[in-house]
Chain A
Amino acid sequence: MSAVEKTEKTERLSVLKTYKLYVGGKFPRSESGRVYEVTDPKGKWLANAPLSSRKDARDAVVAARKAFGGWSGATAYNRGQILYRVAEMLEGRKEQFVREVADAEGLSKAKAAAQVDAAIDRWVWYAGWTDKIAQVVGGGNPVAGPFFNLSTPEPTGVVAVLAPQESSFLGLVSVIAPVIATGNTAIVIASERSPLPALSLGEVLATSDLPGGVVNVLSGKTAEIAAPLAAHQDVNAIDLAGADDVLAKELEIAAADNLKRVVRPQAVDYSATPGIDRMTAFLETKTVWHPTGSLGASGSSY
């Protein structure tokens, strides 16, 4: 008998995953070198997640700003393709997310699967919006004069998103997708207690043709990371979904400093089909006037 056959069968030691941030298309550890323990609702240790610092937040803003020109300038069709691609990639890695969501939220496998399915479908829903929102919220205006007058929606810029605390994946996707569908770039603070699905989503986004920096995912203490984002002069908007009322007020006051667009925390049923409010909240309306060339003797021209 050979030596190999003599070896007793032992249970294989699994390879644990080091969860990392997703910033600028790369997977850095927190600049601070800090991590915190993530547990399931029963207190069982799941992994260590990066405990992001304000420097990580600032780095993410730089990455999001850098990505804004290309992403907002991409065709709506292209953005739709990429959002759909996210759904495709998620579908292939569904098992992983079902497990992570079940662990994170203490759900049965069936319930977690329903959440993940809904989240995938949500990407598909928003993929279809990218090239329709302009027609729904924009259009020609019948002004009383010889002018061609057109209103088009444009992304407002860099959006800080505090992901909902309770819904670690469906809620997360429900606040990210509308922001980027319309051409904004995002810095997302994952659910403080259940950040792992968000950090894994970063890996999916990185392989979904989404340009680096369009979505940046940070984990850690929501209040700690959100404060510098709300005060940041190069952030244009903030979604306070994951803030409690006290933190939300504090952040809204800080956000007033450069007149950020603010979405306040509100009751949302994430399982229902979303309205378009989360898209329009981060859109500007640009109206362009041009003379129609009625140059007759009766009217002034330009």
Chain B
Amino acid sequence: MASAFEYAPAPESRTVVDIAPSYGLFIDGEFTEAADGKVFKTVSPSTEEVLSEVAQAGTEDVDRAVKAARKAFEKWSALPGAERAKYLFRIARIIQERSRELAVLETLDNGKPIKETRDADLPLVAAHFFYYAGWADKLDHAGFGANPKPLGVAGQVIPWNFPLLMLAWKIAPALATGNTVVLKPAETTPLSALFFADICRQAGLPKGVVNILPGYGDTGAALVEHPDVNKVAFTGSTAVGKAIARQVAGTNKKVTLELGGKGANIVFDDAPIDQAVEGIVTGIFFNQGQVCCAGSRLLVQESIQDELLDSLKRRVSTLRLGDPLDKNTDIGAINSAEQLARITSLAEQGEAEGAERWSPACELPTSGYWFAPTLFTNVTQAHTIARDEIFGPVLSVLTFRTPDEAVAKANNTQYGLSAGIWTEKGSRILAVANKLRAGVIWSNTFNKFDPTSPFGGYKESGFGREGGRHGLEAYLAPSSPKGER
């Protein structure tokens, strides 16, 4: 591709990370093998190189970890909040110190560009621990009544798209509120959670407060089902979220679910086009579109469709796809062969259903899992690619004429996680934001996150919020007056 600038490659050094050939489960402060000796391999999605072999937790291991967490809960929850806070502050600091190492590790294991792990994931991970550290000794002021109580052992299952960030979102509020944790990272991205286990050791965190169990879906299911788990937190697909909601029915387990989305990015005719184009690109190509709140449906006002699409295509043509460790890379690898197959199949379905496919001239590396940034035009609301979450760098473009039509189309989904609004008119932003049924609305910006800001969905995008004061509620017992039952 001819370009005004030719960049020299600038790969981040892998030497800052020392990946061991094998890792165990982290239970009660120790790394240990799985009871049945099972292991699985984790590969680098950009090269298919085997990075390490990781112990795979089974039912017996889940039971061991829950027992360890239960034992640790007594002391941890009884600790003065100020002391718990100091542990969390320590963890935040160590994450900052080791952020380059963790960023490179995350890029190797996940396939996302170093630019994103370095500048988005890691700073947010540290910020989450800092934010919730400060809550630990101020819970009386959080609005959930005086002297709010933790729930007990939290079973947490996180996805592969933001491995360390999702860990931070789950572990930081759980520990701040006095709960202990058993966390299952995703099978394709277990490494940063295991490095985090080491950080817990460096921070001197009491044994058993945090336990990490790599494994597949069955490990997660065993954790959710475990009778001695008091709280279930899950981020992942809506289908699994529904299964979890069924599993916990009739129990006393408190549940929060952060599930899928099909976010609408609405561009009105008075929008600042250049900024909107940047926002659309961020909305769908950040993290290869493997983002639950991705702006995967572009709703553009008909009168500016041509202008906007020309601009957008020009911009997408400048994105650099390739080595995730190169700091000039915009688009990295798809996380797994399985995910690539899903994206490929949905894109093919888009074509088969009559939508018009476009990608820039883009050479894909020969090894690893790659998918070129892709736009679909002539998309209608009935198309599969306008309804199903693709979880990849695929944007569906729809049009509208009036604000009412934009709102109706944006809301026409079972999901309700995110939306974007692009217009220079303040009153229109507020009116449209008011009518959109979504938990996070970015106006004249997109994909912004902050630990102080609650995040979570309406409808089938799940329930509960993570981040902010709201995020504490998921880990505290309800305050209602109780009678006899």
Residues of B within 8 A of A265 (CB): 485
> In the complex, are the beta carbons of B275 and A302 less than 8 A apart?
yes
Does B360 count as interface, using CB distance less than 8 angstroms? no
Does B115 count as interface, using CB distance less than 8 angstroms? no
> In the complex, are the beta carbons of A141 and B453 less than 8 A apart?
yes
- Give a binary string over A137-156; 1 marks a CB under 8 Å from any B CB, 0 the rest: 10001111101010100001
> In the complex, are the beta carbons of B454 and A302 less than 8 A apart?
no
- Give a binary string over A273-301; 1 marks a CB under 8 Å from any B CB, 0 the rest: 11111101000111111110000000001
Q: Nearest Cβ distance between residue A232 and chain B, in whole angstroms?
A: 14
User: What's the Cα separation between A299 and B443 when bound, in Å?
Assistant: 18
* Nearest 8 interchain pairs by C-beta: A249-B250, A269-B483, A267-B485, A256-B245, A252-B249, A302-B275, A143-B450, A272-B481
Does A253 count as interface, using CB distance less than 8 angstroms? yes
Which residue from B259, B276, B440, B483 sits with its C-beta under 8 Å from A267?
A: B483
> In the complex, are the beta carbons of A302 and B478 less than 8 A apart?
no
> In the complex, are the beta carbons of A255 and B479 less than 8 A apart?
no
Residues of A within 8 A of B414 (CB): 258
9-residue interface stretch from B149-157, B305-313, B456-464: B456-464
> In the complex, are the beta carbons of B485 and A289 less than 8 A apart?
no
Which residue from B241, B275, B278, B481 sits with its C-beta under 8 Å from A275?
A: B481
Q: Nearest Cβ distance between residue A204 and chain B, in whole angstroms?
A: 26
> In the complex, are the beta carbons of B483 and A268 less than 8 A apart?
yes
Chain B residues within 8 Å of A, Cβ to Cβ:
127, 143, 145, 238, 241-243, 245-246, 249-250, 252, 257, 259, 272, 275-276, 278-279, 414, 416, 429, 433, 438-445, 448, 450, 452-456, 458-460, 462-463, 465, 468, 470, 473, 478-485
Does A236 count as interface, using CB distance less than 8 angstroms? yes
User: What's the Cα separation between A255 and B246 when bound, in Å?
Assistant: 8
Using A290-B429, A302-B276 as known contacts, list a sample of 12 further A-B pairs with CB atoms less than 8 Å apart, ordered by residue number in A: A147-B450, A151-B453, A245-B250, A253-B250, A255-B245, A255-B249, A259-B257, A269-B481, A280-B473, A284-B439, A289-B440, A302-B445
Residues of A within 8 A of B458 (CB): 156, 284, 286
Interface centre among A145, A245, A289, A290 (most CB of B within 10 A): A289
Interface centre among B278, B416, B433, B473 (most CB of A within 10 A): B433
Interface centre among A147, A278, A284 (most CB of B within 10 A): A284
User: What's the Cα separation between A275 and B480 when bound, in Å?
Assistant: 5
> In the complex, are the beta carbons of B143 and A136 less than 8 A apart?
yes
> In the complex, are the beta carbons of B485 and A285 less than 8 A apart?
no
Which residue from A253, A258, A268, A289 sits with its C-beta under 8 Å from B480?
A: A268
User: What's the Cα separation between A248 and B440 when bound, in Å?
Assistant: 31
Residues of A within 8 A of B465 (CB): 285
> In the complex, are the beta carbons of A288 and B443 less than 8 A apart?
yes
**CB under 8 Å from chain B, chain A span 223-274:** 236, 245, 248-249, 252-253, 255-259, 261, 264-270, 272-274
> In the complex, are the beta carbons of B443 and A269 less than 8 A apart?
no
Residues of B within 8 A of A255 (CB): 245, 249
> In the complex, are the beta carbons of A259 and B462 less than 8 A apart?
yes
Residues of B within 8 A of A273 (CB): 481
Knowing A143-B453, A259-B460 are in contact, say whether A288-B433 is a contact too (CB < 8 A).
Answer: yes
> In the complex, are the beta carbons of B485 and A266 less than 8 A apart?
yes
> In the complex, are the beta carbons of A268 and B246 less than 8 A apart?
no
- The residue on A at minimum CB distance from B456 is A285
> In the complex, are the beta carbons of A302 and B438 less than 8 A apart?
no
Which residue from A149, A280, A284, A290 sits with its C-beta under 8 Å from B453?
A: A149
User: What's the Cα separation between A18 and B50 when bound, in Å?
Assistant: 76
28 contacting pairs across A/B (C-beta < 8 A): A136-B143, A137-B143, A143-B453, A144-B452, A147-B448, A149-B450, A151-B453, A151-B468, A245-B250, A249-B249, A257-B242, A259-B257, A259-B459, A259-B462, A268-B480, A269-B483, A270-B483, A275-B145, A284-B439, A284-B458, A285-B454, A286-B440, A287-B440, A287-B441, A287-B453, A287-B454, A291-B444, A291-B445
Knowing A141-B468, A302-B272 are in contact, say whether A277-B479 is a contact too (CB < 8 A).
Answer: yes
Interface centre among B439, B450, B484 (most CB of A within 10 A): B450
> In the complex, are the beta carbons of B438 and A286 less than 8 A apart?
yes
